[in-house]
A and B are shown apart, each in its own frame.
Chain A
């Protein structure tokens, strides 16, 4: 980087500026990374005993270490943990930016296009209404009642973007948490379980597409292109990546697996492409996360991707970068100071109601019983990590204020926790009975 120019005779000389962190900043950064990782892991393991999702533990760790608790009562210690006013924060923010890109890459890998296509109309109807109804109701409530969220807008375009965002935040589902809940309850292979999984996958794809468009529109300085242009670009990129890109990846993976070391070769190539995809979408005005998400889908769809390779990528990202990202959320705001009961309750009620109604109606329309439909609604209700990522990105883009951010994070956590008990109550007994009957029939055949 060039510093201030100086003239010597007719020659302009530029002094060079220092572009590296000072020793103090370097120590601060590395120390922060170490402490945050270890504390996050300890808290996660503690919460795991209560069957809480990982993201809850990571979030709580950040809240405890950040301005909400430690920063409030022992600010000097909190500053040692993460000094938000030093140059090291630039590097740390870079790491968290990369973390969220990798998180979305892994989320994309979990999406299975073939399973979405294979499942019948029930799953599609569930996912369609499970998306449209929360999106529509969220949009309308945010548009007409935005003061209830503590928001105020001077421009109508900003209001529309805010309303779209809020609808999207209500529409997404947290696939890993849903999968874990279903697995724990032994409902994974049940009809209800498969419908929930597929519908959640589909809602995620559309939710992220929409959110990327929203973030992309925030960046557009002139509004002459607007929503349609951004949406068009997003769809074009998706189609190109999921057709041509997917074929290229599918053809080159066997070659890479044969000629490169494993798993290092795959890790480098896949994450490298994820970053390139992210850079590309950021360049064309859509958020970087979407580029990584679509690259993830393309990779995940490859027939040559083994479970072992998938697992390594997932473990690498989820246990190193994800905790850093989620813990850092706790440092963004003072959760207690920005907690607003009215806003939180409003967001929570809207989130639960719209998902229950949307997904439940969709499942009922698809032919499930009333009880099964309600179970599907609760199953898809978990917002988890996806809801939190949406919220933090919206906060960083100044689309929402801190109070609404805190409310959405709390909503994401509560909806994730309640999915398991609800499913247990509504559907598990019935499915267990059906399975017992089936087992008895099979056992009788063997006798």
Chain B
């Protein structure tokens, strides 16, 4: 296992905005992020440029003290592809977009802008389900602790965000890999053999997570490691919902997701189908 990347705070953040009722709320959320992360912001709008629209955005940016320390990119074209290109060109570390908690079946299968972006984007992405002008501070973060090379960085990001926004509780969820557990309990084993194999798996997982956590300075943050049984992706979403988490942090997908992944959901598709809270997909670029 390589050493954890330090300085994972997102330095350059893009905010995808649209002229919807949530525009001001989205900009307000960006302002709060600016306070915590001290990043450079780029506001991205894809669509026709009108004087009135420019005036509206500038008013909001000025209201939230973002006018002088952020950039506004305005382009026309197909929304998703344009935003993805801008992310590449501007070398963004994080893209923020608003997303509905749940969409209709057809919309889910066809894909809304935010969800399409989350499946294709190469940088990290934050989906805000309920951006508010006056929102309460983050209290609880749930982050995945799965056996994946990306988990190291994902947990490190979770800890840094927790420190930046003074979050007291971070729950690291180890989803018991049901399939392996299922094969362990095969009738080929005696009861004590099953227990022994399960113990070995759990020990391995604990060791791995402890190693990751030991590489991070957690400060006053209370890290709680929880092991829950169920389908990876689905069970952590359910946990976040049941525990009223404010932010769910997952690894970005290992490959591009397509329609088949929506028909046969895996991992993040469970979360995307029904967002339990704000969702951050971490994808740290290699140097």
Is the CB–CB distance between A117 and B181 below 8 Å?
no
- Which of B181, B186, B200, B255 is most buried by chain A, counting CB atoms within 10 A of its CB? B186
- Which of A53, A189, A243, A446 is most buried by chain B, counting CB atoms within 10 A of its CB? A189
Is the CB–CB distance between A176 and B186 below 8 Å?
yes
A117 and chain B: residue at smallest CB distance: B266
Q: Is residue B231 contacting chain A, with contact meaning CB distance below 8 A? A: yes
- Distance A122 CA – B247 CA, assembled complex (angstroms): 34
B203-240 contact mask (Cβ, 8 Å, vs A): 1 or 0: 01001000100110000000000000111001100000
Q: A110-B182, A118-B266 are in contact. List 18 more A-B contacts (CB 8 A).
A: A48-B188, A114-B231, A114-B265, A114-B266, A118-B254, A118-B267, A179-B186, A180-B188, A183-B186, A303-B230, A303-B234, A303-B270, A307-B178, A315-B187, A318-B187, A442-B207, A446-B211, A446-B214
Asked whether A189 and B207 contact (CB < 8 A) given A117-B261, A301-B264, the answer is no
Q: Is residue B72 contacting chain A, with contact meaning CB distance below 8 A? A: no
Identify 22 residue pairs between A and B in the complex whose beta-carbon atoms are under 8 Å apart, listed by A's number. A48-B190, A110-B183, A112-B179, A113-B264, A114-B264, A117-B266, A118-B267, A120-B255, A176-B186, A177-B188, A179-B183, A183-B184, A188-B180, A197-B183, A242-B264, A303-B234, A306-B230, A311-B185, A441-B1, A442-B211, A445-B214, A445-B215
A242 and chain B: residue at smallest CB distance: B264
Is the CB–CB distance between B264 and A307 below 8 Å?
no
- Distance A22 CA – B270 CA, assembled complex (angstroms): 56
Q: Is residue B106 contacting chain A, with contact meaning CB distance below 8 A? A: no
Residues of chain A from 177 to 232 with CB closer than 8 A to chain B in the complex: 177, 179-180, 183, 186, 188-189, 197
Size range of the interface on A? 35 or more
A binding-site residues for B, Cβ under 8 Å: 48, 53-54, 110, 112-115, 117-118, 120, 176-177, 179-180, 183, 186, 188-189, 197, 242-243, 301, 303, 306-307, 310-311, 314-315, 318-319, 438, 441-442, 445-446
CB-CB nearest 8 A-B residue pairs: A114-B266, A179-B183, A180-B188, A303-B234, A318-B187, A303-B231, A112-B179, A442-B211
B binding-site residues for A, Cβ under 8 Å: 1, 147, 176, 178-190, 197, 200-201, 204, 207, 211, 214-215, 229-231, 234-235, 254-255, 260-261, 263-267, 270
* Residues of chain B lying within 8 A (CB to CB) of residue A318: 187
- Distance A170 CA – B111 CA, assembled complex (angstroms): 42
* Residues of chain A lying within 8 A (CB to CB) of residue B207: 442
